[in-house]
Copies of this chain bind each other. A is one copy, B any other.
Amino acid sequence: MHQSTRKIYRKLLTPIEALELAFKYIGKIPRKVVEVPIENSLGMVLAEDVRARIHVPSFNRSLVDGYAVFSEDIATAFDDKPVELTLKGRVYAGEFYQGIVKRGECVEIATGAPIPYPTDAVVPVEYTLTIDDKVKIYKRIAKGGNIDSLGSDAVEGEIIAWKGERITAGLIGAFATAGVRHVKVYSPPSVTIVTIGNELVEVGTSLKPGKIYESNSYMVKSLLSQLKAHVNVVGPIPDDLEKIKEVIDESLEESDLVATIGGTSAGEEDYVHQVLSKYKPGIIVHGLKIKPGSPTIIALSGDKVIVGLPGFPISCLIATLLILLPIVEKISGLKTSSLKRIEVLTAVPLRGKIGFESYVPSILKKRGNNIIAYPLVFYSAAIVRLSMADAILRIPEDTDYLPAGSRVTAWLLNEIDFRRTIFMGSHCPLLEEILKKVREKAPIKTFYTGSMGGLKSIIEGLADMSGIHLYQKGEYNIPILEELNIKNVILVRGYIREQGFIYRQDIKVKSFKDIIENNLRFINRNPGSGTRNLIEELLKNTARETGESVEKLKEKIIGYNLEARSHEAVAYMIHKGVADVGIGVRYVAEKYNLGFEKITDEIYDILIHKGSLNQLAVKQVLEILNSPSFRQIIKSFPGYKIHEKTGKIIFES
């Protein structure tokens, strides 16, 4: 093939090979050790064995509220044959009993109080009866019974935590108990993130044409902060050889590790590898056998580490998970990665690339004892949608085709509450109001994928619940379920809503002809949405009227390629003056005080997977649809109407 001479990746390594190589160098770097008060040590790694400073407990103490006795005195005590002892006094926690107890006597004692000398057992209060200074004992307690004896938890000098252990909340409690006020830990490294790229500007500043907000540093900083690293961010700096060198030089002065983002993808303006090759020992890893994330560099400048991360968000995320975080953990003194990896089963067939490990952002779902991974498919530039992923799964290097149901490893991006209900389907402002109430009580994750996307995800088993409005054969939703022969679902009738043209208040739009003739800026909806289907339908009709092809019409419509994923976003953009006209429900038109021309009444229904009927969020949605208060809510939503079967099951399979 026609390989460009600009591609200069050499000796690509797997992430494991790259880390092994890097760790050979990093392992020799002396680690910084600091002493911290225990309350600041959570999550840090011990740089010393920690020993108990005292015996724990440091005296024999009672484990219960009761009476300290001589076990031999009560050897015959029983339910119907109590032994009577003379009460000589009381001792509370924090005190010492001053007298000497004699045989036949006892001392009332509180939990945690020192055992009076020389008694040898404690009878719990529930097995006693006290009248004046006489105590009846109804149960025999053996010598040592209910006594927590000196050093039984730890003796002075005993190692209670090992060098290399990560400090937990439990250990901090143990340190305090054992008189340890400070511990030596490996100092988490200081990291400077340098963002590089002429196209980048800082978020919050104004965005000039061709520029984008720098966002990778925020994501990487958040991930690093979970490892307790001290993170500083510099940039964005331009693609300029000297400037890059200067900033990395300065950052190396102040940090243990420098992570650059961007400038590694070997284009002619990518200077990072040129700069990094100037340090000694210089670049040790240049390129990984992974997709995406291949253009990752590891370099060294003396004892300092430099990691060059790619600038594409998903590449940057994967290189951060696989390379940067393990290196920072290594410097932090952790022996083994604390990154959460899990085994998952793939929901659908996936394509890999021989010679590369392929990484795929996925949504996870628990089914029985298995966790099923559903790939989220999108360009590597899509960071907003990437934030919806739960995990990144790996397709191995030797695999070009992975059948559905394959067991693979995945890196968890977040904690997941598997009790959550996954809603995927069409966007609707009224449904959003319902889900808002549900979210107060039950975990739910929402993806607006359009009606077709919702239907597909119910079939695949990813979604528990969907909202759809698909017109076919003169009826909404039921015909398509029958045609596709979808099993194990119920369809619950939702409600009726008005769809129409939404437009700026100062114009009027009644057809696509109006839009084309007046050069109005249109805002489209995403493919697979019921509203997009309506738009395509309307264009076919317009084409018939005008005699032009549908393709030609689409080219004539300004903004036809700009797709919003919700009714709300369509109205918002018109309201903001970004577009002049779109198609959506009356409710959002009125909300933003825009013009509205009704096209049709349509029905929005709720499709539920039968296996999910017990989920809290699903039950809540059904409850709300059938509640009298929903009749009230819908009245405050212009353009919405109750259907005679609202809340009823209208289809089951």
Q: Which of A58-66, A300-308, A470-478, A536-544 contacts B (4 or more CB under 8 A)?
A: A58-66
Q: Does A516 contact B (CB under 8 A)?
A: no
Closest approach, in angstroms, between the C-beta of A125 and any C-beta of chain B? 4
Contacts A160-B387, A213-B176; A564 near B128 (Cβ below 8 A): no
Contacts A163-B436, A564-B155; A173 near B313 (Cβ below 8 A): yes
Q: Which residues of B contact A158 (CB under 8 A)?
A: 564-566, 568-569
Contacts A59-B209, A223-B169, A568-B159; A562 near B215 (Cβ below 8 A): no
Contacts A112-B212, A219-B173, A379-B148; A179 near B207 (Cβ below 8 A): yes
Q: Which residues of B contact A523 (CB under 8 A)?
A: 155
Q: Does A431 contact B (CB under 8 A)?
A: no
A97-143 CB contacts (< 8 Å) to partner B:
110-114, 125-129, 138
Q: Are B413 and A170 in contact (CB under 8 A)?
A: yes
Which A residues contact B (CB, under 8 angstroms)?
1-4, 6-7, 38-39, 42, 51-52, 54-59, 61, 63, 65, 92-96, 110-114, 125-129, 138, 148-164, 166, 168-181, 197-200, 203-204, 207, 209-219, 221-223, 225-226, 239, 265, 267-269, 311-313, 317, 335-336, 338, 340, 369, 378-389, 413-415, 417, 419-420, 436, 439-443, 446, 523, 561-566, 568-569, 572-573, 576, 578
Contacts A155-B565, A210-B59, A215-B176; A335 near B7 (Cβ below 8 A): no
Closest approach, in angstroms, between the C-beta of A149 and any C-beta of chain B? 6
Partner of A150, one of B51, B214, B561: B561
Q: Which residues of B contact A148 (CB under 8 A)?
A: 379, 381-382
Q: Are B384 and A215 in contact (CB under 8 A)?
A: no
Q: Are A572 and B160 in contact (CB under 8 A)?
A: no
Partner of A215, one of B155, B173, B209, B378: B173
Q: Which residues of B contact A95 (CB under 8 A)?
A: 198-199, 210
Q: Are A38 and B156 in contact (CB under 8 A)?
A: no
Q: Which residues of B contact A211 (CB under 8 A)?
A: 94
Q: Are B379 and A210 in contact (CB under 8 A)?
A: no
Q: Are B174 and A203 in contact (CB under 8 A)?
A: no
Q: Which residues of B contact A566 (CB under 8 A)?
A: 158-159
Q: Are B174 and A384 in contact (CB under 8 A)?
A: yes
Within the assembled complex, what's the spacing in Å between the Cα atoms of A551 and B218?
Answer: 68
Contacts A94-B200, A381-B148; A65 near B267 (Cβ below 8 A): yes
Q: Are B573 and A156 in contact (CB under 8 A)?
A: yes
Partner of A153, one of B93, B203, B385: B385
Q: Which residues of B contact A384 (CB under 8 A)?
A: 52, 56, 153-154, 160, 174, 177-178
Contacts A4-B128, A269-B92; A439 near B164 (Cβ below 8 A): yes
Contacts A59-B209, A59-B210, A218-B175; A387 near B168 (Cβ below 8 A): yes
